[in-house]
Structure 1
Amino acid sequence: MTRHEPFADAFSLQRRRADGGTERLSGWGFRNETDVLTDVLLGSPVHLRHLATSSLSRKHLRENPCNIQVAQAQHKELVAAYEHFGVEIHWHHPEPELPMQVYARDSSVMTPYGAVITAMADWWRRGENYAAIRSYERLGIPIYDMVTAGTFEGGDFNVIEDGVVLIGCGGARTQEEGARQVEGWFRKEGWETRLAFFDEYYVHIDLMVVPIAEKLTAVCLDCTEPGIVDWLKGKGHEIVDVPFRDTMDLGCNFMSLGRSRVIAPRTSRTLVARLKALGFEVAAIDMSEISKTGGGIHCMAQALRRRP
């Protein structure tokens, strides 16, 4: 099978089996978030506007609003990094009514069983969920299910390793009702689940916890619940601490590409230095302007396919 041949997985609007036992996809999907990334879904910043989607973006909006042209140029650097590493890029169709569509991880989240269509908290972003359905239909990627019990956003679904997921719940962007619904689905599939409750200031769990490689995870120890850190260590994970100040600049929000390759924000100097010392190839790019609008590198990408 070549990269451009269609996969055998047929598109459907609800692939999940109510009692569990849903078969994993044969083409799309992944085992974990650190295997080799082959295909990624991105959203264009062509219609990007700086809106108050979180306390962090509101702070920048008050003090130093985003320069949209610079932000769009920075996104081009991100695209170039994926191309450099040979990742095939798929795009949401840009729509002027969806100014935050660049954050492709929010409106859906890919799983080994198909895509989960989320339920966005901000009313001006809910159209992104419908656009995501169209994107998956166009790509031929089946939908596992759609969140209906409360708000839930993709940055709060964090596959730590195969069959283990950390689900974030800050209350503002992901409500407990939505988190519990998703947790219930994956428990029925036989997964180990862990809910992480945190202050809404931190937006999503992938602001402070992101896997780097097998048994290696970046964590902001200053703002992550000690119980979560102990849980990770109990699974044999080595922790790379990202300082609080860097984390608030989205320094823990990066993308693992597998095979010791990472795309990370240039401002996250501690993380970048530690990864290089560990032998990683790091594409460190400037995301300082676009991140003022509320998200980082991990928020802007939806991994569609990874392979060991």
Structure 2
Amino acid sequence: MFVRNGTSELKKVLICPPTYLEEAAPINEISKKYADQPLDREKLSAEFEQLVEAYRQAGIKVEQQTATPEMTNAVFARDFGGCVKEGYILGRFKKDLRFPERKAYADKMKKLGIPKITEVKEGYFEGGDFAFLTEKIIAVGIIDRTNEKGFEEIKAGLSPLGYEVYPVPADPRYLHLDMCFNLVDDHLAVAYKEGLPTSFLQLLEKLEIEIIPVPEEAIFKHGCNLESLGAKRVLSLKQNTAVNQSLRSHGMKVIELDITETLKAGGGPHCMTFPLQRG
């Protein structure tokens, strides 16, 4: 078994150092603000090591992708696909900048012995849009980097395995679903409710998933970009003071990361993490 759901105990992750992330390429609303500004390489490296250490302290095995010069944004490991119990889904990047990552990550997964169960060949799909709601119900954001065709390909690949896959369209400015919605425990999520479709909110209600609401501006400060570790533990950013307080009031143990430089390229802890084993 590889990844059973989105909130059970996280056991192994795949991440990639930001070795060649030199400047924030203007490929999303956040990175546009820092476009062509050199990023602090020392700080980027320290933030990555902080993430590695947080996982090790939590007893989670860390696998690392080898960084290469042509994969500038590979630090956001989440985006090459999605992982379920039976294996992984290989996505397809929309931006040319990220094309080289596809083969590199597919090769890495082969080395790790994780089978590819389906892939997106014609449409677009990035892993930041992939979210478990329950063990057999998956939400897929159709926002900026995943389109209808990509969604249909994922649904066709996962349905024979018994998965229900639901589309979640939202404002393209939000980039990925994990920027405006994140499940942190079996029945608890953080989300900007007003930016999500009524049908999706009704589905969450039916599944008895409580939402900790965040304002729209929190999306662009990574207020929803959290990583569930299971056992009521969650990785969050130190700057997410209101969100972290709400999580704690709901019985969650919040592990705070002091990450700011990496965020300028448009991704947070969830974006930086591809789960390999959870259950």
The answer to whether 1:228 aligns with 2:200 is yes
1:247-284 C-alpha deviation (Å, 9 max, x unpaired): 21111001000001111011111211011122222111
Which residue does 1:77 correspond to in 2? 50
Kept in 2, the 8 Å contact 1:33–1:256? The answer is yes
- Residue 36 of structure 1 and its aligned partner are, at CA, apart by 0.3
Which residue does 2:124 correspond to in 1? 151
Q: For 1:234 and 1:260, how far apart are their aligned partners in 2?
A: 22
Counterpart of 2:240, as a letter, is S
Counterpart of 2:178, as a letter, is D
1:35-82 C-alpha deviation (Å, 9 max, x unpaired): 0001011011111132122122112327x6643332221121111111
Counterpart of 2:227, as a letter, is M
**Aligned ranges 1:152-171 → 2 under 5 Å:** 152-170=125-143
Secondary structure of 1:210's aligned partner: strand
Alignment partner of 1:277 out of 239, 249, 252: 249
Which residue does 2:25 correspond to in 1? 51
Q: For 2:237 and 2:149, how far apart are their aligned partners in 1?
A: 33
Following TM superposition, the consecutive aligned residue runs of length 4 or more in structure 1 with deviations greater than 4 angstroms are none
Q: For 1:67 and 1:246, how far apart are their aligned partners in 2?
A: 24
More moved, 68-77 vs 195-204: 68-77
Which residue does 2:189 correspond to in 1? 217
- Unmatched runs of 5 consecutive residues or more in structure 2: none
Q: For 1:42 and 1:139, how far apart are their aligned partners in 2?
A: 13
- Residue 143 of structure 1 and its aligned partner are, at CA, apart by 1.1
Which residue does 2:233 correspond to in 1? 261
1:112-164 C-alpha deviation (Å, 9 max, x unpaired): 12111110111121110100111111111111122102111111111111100
Q: For 2:126 and 2:194, how far apart are their aligned partners in 1?
A: 23
1:200-234 C-alpha deviation (Å, 9 max, x unpaired): 11111111111111111111123222332221011
Name the TM-score, length of structure 1 as normaliser. Answer: 0.86
1:180-212 C-alpha deviation (Å, 9 max, x unpaired): 111222223222221011121111111111111
Q: For 1:210 and 1:249, how far apart are their aligned partners in 2?
A: 14
The answer to whether 1:129 aligns with 2:102 is yes
Q: For 2:175 and 2:219, how far apart are their aligned partners in 1?
A: 12
Kept in 1, the 8 Å contact 2:169–2:196? The answer is no
Which residue does 2:173 correspond to in 1? 201
Q: For 2:100 and 2:47, how far apart are their aligned partners in 1?
A: 25
The answer to whether 1:176 aligns with 2:148 is yes
Counterpart of 2:124, as a letter, is T
Which residue does 1:4 correspond to in 2? none
Aligned length: 278
Counterpart of 2:27, as a letter, is T
The answer to whether 1:38 aligns with 2:2 is no
Which residue does 1:98 correspond to in 2? 71
RMSD (CA atoms): 1.5
- Residue 177 of structure 1 and its aligned partner are, at CA, apart by 0.8
Name the TM-score, length of structure 2 as normaliser. Answer: 0.95
- Residue 167 of structure 1 and its aligned partner are, at CA, apart by 0.7
Which residue does 1:7 correspond to in 2? none
Tell me which structure has the larger Cα radius of gyration. 1
Q: For 2:47 and 2:194, how far apart are their aligned partners in 1?
A: 28
Q: For 1:115 and 1:188, how far apart are their aligned partners in 2?
A: 14
Which residue does 2:34 correspond to in 1? 60
Kept in 1, the 8 Å contact 2:14–2:274? The answer is yes
Identity %: 28
Kept in 2, the 8 Å contact 1:149–1:178? The answer is yes
Which residue does 2:212 correspond to in 1? 240
Alignment partner of 1:299 out of 247, 271, 278: 271
Which residue does 1:24 correspond to in 2? none
